[in-house]
Amino acid sequence: MSGVFEEDDDVDEGPKGNQGEIIETDDFPMRVLAGAGTGKTFTMVRKVEHLLRTEQTSPQNVLALTFTNKAADSMRRKLNARLDTAGYDIDAYTYHSICHSILKEYPYYADLPSGFTVASDADKFELAENAVEEIEYQFVNPDGSYRHSPPEALLNFISSMKQEGVRPADLETYLPSGEVLVELNEMADRIETAARNHLRRQSLRDGADAFCDDLETFALELQLEQKSLGTSPLEEDIGAYLQQLIETTETIQARIRTDSDAIDHGAKQAAVRIPAVLFSGYGSEGNRMTRKSDFPTGIPKLPFTLIDRLRTYLEDCQRAADFVTGYRAYETQRLDSELVDFDDLIHKAVELLRDDDLAAEIAGQWDYVFCDEFQDTDSIQFELVEALAKHNRLFVVGDDDQAIYEWRGANSENIGSKLTATYQPNLIDKELDLNFRSKQPILNLANDAITALEDRRSDKQLTAFGKKRDATDGVAYIDTSPPDGEDALDDDEYQANQITTAIAGLLRGDFDPVEESYDLEDIAILVRKNRHAEPLIQSFGEAGIPFELVGDLATESVGVETVLAYLRAIAAPSDDVSVRRVLLMRYRLSEADLRLLADSADRLIDAVFSANPSELSEPERFVTARDHFHHLFSRRHLLSVQQLYHELLHTTDIEWFLTHTERRELKGLEELIAEYGDGTSQPPLDADFLDYLDHHDSITDVTDSAPNEQGESASDAVSIMTIHKAKGLDFPVVVMPELTADQWAPRARSYADLVEAVNGCGFWEADQIKRDQQEARRLLHVGITRAEEQLILCGHGEAPETPDEGVTLDYIQRWIGDGIRWDVSASSFPVWEQIQESLPASAQDWTELVSEASPRQTEAVATYDGGELTYQAAVETVLDQADRLLNGTLSDGEPASINIQSDAFTTIETPSIRRSHSYTSLGTVEDCARKHYLDHVVYAPELPRRLRPSVDSDGSETDTNDAPSVTATDTGASNREIGVLFHETAEAAIDRNRTERSEWREICEQLAVERGLEQALEDALDCVDRFFQTPVADWTLLSAEHSFGIEIEDYYVVGEIDCLARRPDGELVVLDYKATESAKGETNRQLPLYILACEELFEESITTAGYVYVGDVGPDIDLRTYDDDRLEDARTRILGGLQKANTSSYADYTTGEHCKWCPHNELPCSGLHGE
């Protein structure tokens, strides 16, 4: 699903409502506040079109700024559809990419090297890893926290500072020494003690004047602390805050005198405890008052006290004092590496544009500047737009009601008061409030929810378009309070079952309140936090409802986590948690067996290799697990990460234990694995790769590479995503779970107060918690307005607390001085109560309808053999067919007899993905196109080995399951293992410039131990000896394992050249080692392929390539020279192979000797099954 007027089918739509007025006016600058679903992108595109059609400017003179490349491309595409190719001539950029373009054109003016590059997330993490070594930790745990490692914590800090333009020098100027920070913390302890000594009261029996005298004494102690402060900017801020506390004591005195009767013997008697509470006089010494039990009788729990907020601020300053050293080291290393990180792009460009002459030259390229989603811009992006639109021909569109990225540094005032102040009195204001997406009851709820927002900048009310305006249905709610009783589920499980029941009914089309039925892709679950998806994953899986986790949630998949656990267990065998997960989730070992294994050895993996299977309740499963682990451990140093990953899938058949959804989600993991390494080769699986995986999510959390990238909805499953990822999308059905006050509670933002202070605003003058509360209201509005036809709200209220003696949070707020802007009542967002107050009269209560513990499974859900099957019957039928497949009694049949279309296996003429080829894959396609397709295109999972026919060397079927894939030597090592050990020996020797036979043998012995290849050592040493009996040993060996990726016409080919050597006569030669038992033929593709690669890799001409035989057919060397004619003949052969490889399909296959060892020989094409 996509937003209104977001697809190309809007090309011929005409403007509606006041869109036409906005499009056709020639007034600038203009601000358009466009509500959700009102066609803001449509309006902006048509306005650009209007300018071009009326010849007010040319396409290349229009600059459009968006937040995502997808949005920029969409704008070009829409304009192209309206204006032919002229639409692609407009300059559509993201805010970061325009800055990158400017800096690339003017690097020297920005004090950048001409070859600077933008740092990747991996680059940034490496810089941070080095930078933390420079930190002399005084306040921060050098080992990190349970949430973030030290590099992650540093990156988090740096990103927070850079978003607001705070540099290391700014922090170093503001912060005092570590000793002073310690003293300031001790000062907070002294103030707390003074509050405990002077302000704690149970009543006013000594009179209001006596209490006020004690308050005066307390104020004097604050003044003494004030006078002891130094002159650093932080200490000056602390002094100013203490002045606010002194003024608060005056406010308290006035309140005591005003309300003395009510406090002495009326409804406000508990108020006598407020002063001590505000100054932490009731907490345990040195600790924050965070628990209800910390507050005395009659006083509601406060989100903070005035001293707690001081402590929190000082702790931020202490962390900053440690991290600023790492920040500076990070910046120094970044500059030395000629890197610019994402946050620097805009800052550097803005600094450049502060030069009037350069600004005039750069901004003069465009007559008009258009900005999308302007409410999500931050302060530095606002300055960028202002510099690029000096001519005032600016058009900004956005919605202050959808400003949901302030937590990432966005400033919603940019589209409000800041824009007004900058462009008044010429700024033209327009609104779009005609909604083309949702039914009116849904919009009524959205309107009511956002109207409660304080300081809202507009009063627009969304109105539905057309027939949807007259709708009376569309809103339903479910109270998720679990029933009482011993067997009751916990809150999350109960809610997940309720939602599952509702969705199952909507999919079946028999849910009583709703007449329509819906497809999977019509439904979205929008959550506020990632963890809210976890119970739904479990419930959907049990109910058989396909779902897809979108965006950040993709890392929550149970199946993906199990595959990751296997990789972790192979790389780090001491990781008992991962080993246990694999044994439980893949091999289904019982809890009793797992406990027995855990008790039998220090490490669980050692127990796997040493335990007696007969002592376990499931010995066959255990033996399978042990064999798989043994096999994968033996391969982990021989294969790259990507190769080992596919070996894992091949060996363990783990994909057979995953749902369709989980198998689909493996694509994300496969993309991560493919990106690992230097781009041309990959190292084996080790701890570095685990760090790469672990850091991937956390890096995206703490960097700003795509702060508001829109998610992609699923095409054949229910979408589960965060509300942030859903912005810009819409769905016929939207479900919003976890609408409870505790899950939507506002919170302060790390370092936000410090940033405010460094930029000149006192930390007590900005209410970060209140800002987050307001953003939570806008987030609710965004979630509601994603729904087109049916909105389902799930949550429950909390038992209201009756304030004792009439003291409320609002009343306590009046005891705090006016200079302190914090609101103690802003810590709560009673979201469910406010939804209930705003529900339209037609809203339906679905609570009773979904009260069953699980979705109904008695209706017909499938057809088989001419009849209908219930859910349970369908499951039993599938299992029965699977049993028949296993025991060989499943009958053959034409595809059409089981409703498989006759063209299901036709050749795919245009591959859906661009294929990458290699010498190995070209050899595979010569044997069998089907095997190539399965092995090198789709990486098809194989059936368990017990289902594969096994053969003797003569091709007849046997009972063994050990059909060899490689030839074994007398030592028990395979030719592959011998070859790998020799290749690694040669590579290490050449890299280390070792030229003596003894040095090569020593390296070989070391690698055999390190790689677990002792069984191949004797044969590999023989290969070393044979190598030194060839002339090559006396040549200059220049390079080993040189990776390449080249284009041959339209095909991409990758590979590795074993060795590049220079002969005594000066000629460069390409060499390939062969430890095999046979020599290569004259017409192979490998050597000419290497020659073609060298034409792109090296400037010096290379025409000779050859094989160095170090196996049983050696020692020998076979050199071949390729003149133009021979190379052209070889090129023709290679192209022929590439064409075959690029069009291979499942439908084409060739039977032969190779079928005996094919990993897919369970298929009928192998001819090994008999009749």
* Residue ranges at the known binding site: 34-41
In a 10 Å sphere around its CB, with 0-12 CB exposed, 13-18 middle and 19+ buried, how is residue 708 labelled?
middle
Q: Are 833 and 775 in contact (CB under 8 A)?
A: no
DSSP-derived secondary structure for 1127-1160: HHHHHHHHHHHHHHHHS--TT----SGGGGG-TT
Report cis status (omega within 30 of 0) of the bond before 1115.
Answer: yes
> What span, in angstroms and rounded, lies between the C-alpha atoms of 1134 and 1140?
10
CA-CA distance, 296 to 452, in Å (whole number)? 32
**Count of alpha carbons within 13 Å of 619, Cβ hemisphere only?**
6
The residue behind tokens 């021909």 is: 393
Residue 1158, burial from CB neighbour count under 10 angstroms (0-12, 13-18, 19+): buried
Binding-site residues for ATP sit at 34-41
Residue 299 · residue 807 · CB < 8 Å? yes
Alpha-carbon distance of 522 to 534, in angstroms, equals: 21
Residues with Cβ within 8 Å of 1169's Cβ and at least 6 positions away in sequence, in order, are 949
E-strand stretches of 522-660: 523-527, 547-549
User: What is the rounded distance in angstroms from the CA atom of residue 706 to the CA atom of residue 694?
Assistant: 19
The two beta strands, 718-722 and 523-527, are parallel
Using DSSP, state whether 1081 is helix, strand or coil.
Answer: coil
Q: Is residue 1039 helix, strand or coil? A: strand
Between CA 258 and CA 246 the distance in angstroms is 19
The four Cα atoms 159, 160, 166, 170 give a dihedral, to 10 degrees, of -110
Kindly state the tokens that stand for 76.
């070009």
Q: Where are the beta strands (DSSP E) in 941-1067?
A: 950-951, 957-958, 1036-1048, 1051-1062
1120 forms bridges with which residues in the sheet? 1105
Distance CA 544, CA 142 (A): 46
Residues 6+ apart with CB under 8 A from 242: 222, 223, 225, 226
Structure tokens given for 204: 């006013």
Sign of the alpha-carbon dihedral angle for 1037, 1042, 1048, 1053? positive
Instruction: Judge whether 751 and 161 are in contact, CB under 8 Å.
Output: yes
Local structure of 1097: helix, strand or coil: helix
The Cα 690–Cα 596 span in angstroms is 28
DSSP 112-165: --TT-EEPPHHHHHHHHHHHGGG---SSS-TT--SS--HHHHHHHHHHHHHHTT
What does the block give as tokens for 51? Answer: 């300018």
**CA angle 194–196–199, rounded 5-degree value:** 90
- For strands 91-94 and 434-435, give the pairing: unpaired
As given in the structure block, the two tokens for residue 982 are: 């020799």
Q: How far apart are alpha carbons 451 and 440 in whole angstroms?
A: 16
Over its C-alpha atoms, the chain yields an Rg (Å, rounded) of 35
